[in-house]
């Protein structure tokens, strides 16, 4: 989106001004944003096609000798911004192959910390996570354009859910989803009709059958309400503050508030918050995280009135909402954190600034 692209550009310009040359990638026929220095055009609907991107990049380098020289000397960074590219280990490897610098999560860590892998790490380090059952591993999908293969896949998923022998409410989820897409409510896992509907919804929305799992809903014995705590980790260290998120019935974010550590107790007990920070660091360490990522957990009061937290996933990239915490930090000169500039500095081999809690 224009907003997302502008926010990345604003970070870069705020730190380096015009010392950094920014080339925007966009579809044929579209106009680059003000403040961009050049554009690399790709065919419409070709996002994610790295072979096509390579063709267009090679052509642009043949016309732009400065870009070609910088690329050859390893001075061109591929900035995925907020997009799904930032979490793709395939994209990271493809970018490296193109002779560009990847500023995001290291590919192995990115794969390890995807949704199913994340939940397995939670279990290993003792961090709470809702009960789950894997229906298909990542990269173990079938050809959904083949009706016979698709039906066999659906029936296999239905049998895996039936084998759980539970009627606890849950969700069918794809590791490739987000923002409510690739998630289907399943109020009764013992009802084959409901299971089929949920499975088919996710397959249709994602158009792929790998990385599918069942996750039990939280607080089903209480009033059913919850909100989300988001903790940023920088490598293996937890950043200051936490973000609290409220969702609508379609599991889309509607409100998000960033709070400093001393104010988090407005929404959850301080001791549980401190435990969650320790768990987040432990998960990051075991997953080999090397950059900015966000650990997400659901906070609620159970039927006994006790607060609980259940971790659900890790976003291996900066989120749009990172501003809610970035503004809570400043460097020795009083400058706020500029997350994308920080990623570029590290990719270049220059240590990012050390941040302290903001005084303003």
pLDDT in tens, 147-166: 999 999 999 999 999 999 99
Nearest-angstrom CA–CA distance, 345 and 315? 21
176: exposed, middle or buried (C-beta count within 10 Å: 0-12, 13-18, 19+)? buried
Residue 323's contacts (CB-CB under 8 Å, 6 or more residues apart) are 7, 258
Let me know: does 11 contact 81? Beta carbons within 8 Å.
no
Strand (E) or helix (H) holding 325: helix 323-326
Mean pLDDT of the chain, nearest integer: 91
pLDDT value of residue 217 = 95
Residue 119's nearest CA partner among 141, 137, 107 is 137
Using a pLDDT cut of 90, give the percent of the chain over it: 62
pLDDT-based confidence at 2, cuts 50/70/90? Answer: confident
pLDDT value of residue 88 = 83
pLDDT value of residue 256 = 83
Taking only the tens place, the pLDDT of each residue in 64-112 is 999 999 999 999 999 987 777 788 888 899 999 999 999 988 888 888 9
Q: What are phi and psi of 247, to 5 degrees?
A: -115, 160
Q: Region of 156 please: left (phi>0), alpha (psi -120 to 50) or beta.
A: alpha
pLDDT value of residue 148 = 96
Section 202-224 average pLDDT: 93
Q: What does pTM read for this prediction?
A: 0.85
Residue 103's contacts (CB-CB under 8 Å, 6 or more residues apart) are 77, 78, 79, 80, 291, 343, 344, 346, 347
Q: 349: which 2 tokens?
A: 């081999």
Nearest-angstrom CA–CA distance, 287 and 139? 19
């Amino acid at each position: 989106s224009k907003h997302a692209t502008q926010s990345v550009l604003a970070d870069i310009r705020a730190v380096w001004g015009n010392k950094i040359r920014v080339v925007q990638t966009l579809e044929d026929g579209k106009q680059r944003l003000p403040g961009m220095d050049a554009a690399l055009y790709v065919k419409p609907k070709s996002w994610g096609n790295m072979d096509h991107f390579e063709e267009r990049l090679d052509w642009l380098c043949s016309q732009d000798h400065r870009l070609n020289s910088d690329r050859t000397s390893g001075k061109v960074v591929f900035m995925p911004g907020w997009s799904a590219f930032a979490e793709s280990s395939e994209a990271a490897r493809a970018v490296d192959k193109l002779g560009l610098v990847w500023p995001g999560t290291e590919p192995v860590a990115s794969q390890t910390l995807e949704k199913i892998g994340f939940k397995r790490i939670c279990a290993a380090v003792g961090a709470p996570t809702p009960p789950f059952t894997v229906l298909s591993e990542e990269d173990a999908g079938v050809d959904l354009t083949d009706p016979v293969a698709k039906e066999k896949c659906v029936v296999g998923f239905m049998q895996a859910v039936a084998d759980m022998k539970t009627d606890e409410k849950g969700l069918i989820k794809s590791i490739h989803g987000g923002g409510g897409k690739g998630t289907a409510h399943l109020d009764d896992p013992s009802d084959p009709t409901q299971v089929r509907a949920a499975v088919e919804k996710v397959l249709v929305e994602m158009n792929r059958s790998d990385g599918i799992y069942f996750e039990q809903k939280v607080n089903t014995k209480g009033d059913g309400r919850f909100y989300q705590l988001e903790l940023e980790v920088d490598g293996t260290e937890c950043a200051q503050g936490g973000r609290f998120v409220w969702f609508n019935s379609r599991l889309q974010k509607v409100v998000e508030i960033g709070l400093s550590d001393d104010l988090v107790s407005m929404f959850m007990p301080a001791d549980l918050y401190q435990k969650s920070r320790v768990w987040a660091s432990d998960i990051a360490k075991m997953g080999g995280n090397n950059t900015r990522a966000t650990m997400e957990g659901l906070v609620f009061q159970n039927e006994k009135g006790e607060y609980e937290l259940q971790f659900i996933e890790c976003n291996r990239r900066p989120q749009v909402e990172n501003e809610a915490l970035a503004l809570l930090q400043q460097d020795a000169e009083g400058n706020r954190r500029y997350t994308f500039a920080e990623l570029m500095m590290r990719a270049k081999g220059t240590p990012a600034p050390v941040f302290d809690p903001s005084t303003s």
